[in-house]
A and B are shown apart, each in its own frame.
Chain A
Amino acid sequence: DAMVIQNPRYQVTQFGKPVTLSCSQTLNHNVMYWYQQKSSQAPKLLFHYYDKDFNNEADTPDNFQSRRPNTSFCFLDIRSPGLGDAAMYLCATSRTSGTGETQYFGPGTRLLVL
């Protein structure tokens, strides 16, 4: 089945220690998104890639970076995680970036910062 895969499902890191979260997709979609979801809150878009074009949300901290080496993979890098970065990180894809395009979500990676 075509799907969005996120690894690992749970990640524990230390305060200030860089961490990378991974997302892959078999849908061959052009767009990949990263959302941050803190406990009992709505998912918040961090950035997205349309093909190789990177689009950062205005309020995404510089601590968060992303890479998309090819169509299938996208990575979220947190350069110096703080306690406030503990959250669920959701990857999503869509065929295009047109308004109303359905987004398909992965299962998420829960990040714990010690």
Chain B
Amino acid sequence: AQSVTQPDIHITVSEGASLELRCNYSYGATPYLFWYVQSPGQGLQLLLKYFSGDTLVQGIKGFEAEFKRSQSSFNLRKPSVHWSDAAEYFCAVAGFQKLVFGTGTRLLVSP
């Protein structure tokens, strides 16, 4: 069965600093991978997705993620964090007719 691990429950980053959120997946075949962001009290917004091809994927809001098959990872990065990036971030892998989410990483941005 598919699974996703996000090892960091909380991360605090200073505004303007770089960010990397970790995601490890378990899937038998080529995975379809997603990053979603959830602001407080809101639904999930798709940041980016990986299906195949270039392993570095660009998303919205200046985010990117890199697929590394050898490490079963799909880490999310941003070179310079803005206060508005404070939110919960979910990594997900596509299973049959469903998404399997990790438990999320809450990003806090300090001034």
Binding site for B on A (CB under 8 A): 4, 6, 33, 40-43, 45, 48, 50, 55, 57, 90, 92, 97, 99-108, 110
Contacts and interface: CB of A to CB of B under 8 A. Distances in A.
B97 A48 contact: yes
Contacts of B98: 33, 45, 48, 57
A43 B51 contact: no
A42 B102 contact: yes
Interface size class of B (residues with CB under 8 A): 20 to 34
A110 B32 CA distance: 29
Given A100-B32, A102-B49, A108 B42 contact: yes
Interface in B5-28: none
Main secondary structure of the interface of B (DSSP, over half): strand
A107 B42 contact: yes
Contact of B44 (A90, A97, A99): A90
B111 interface: no
Contacts of A48: 97-98
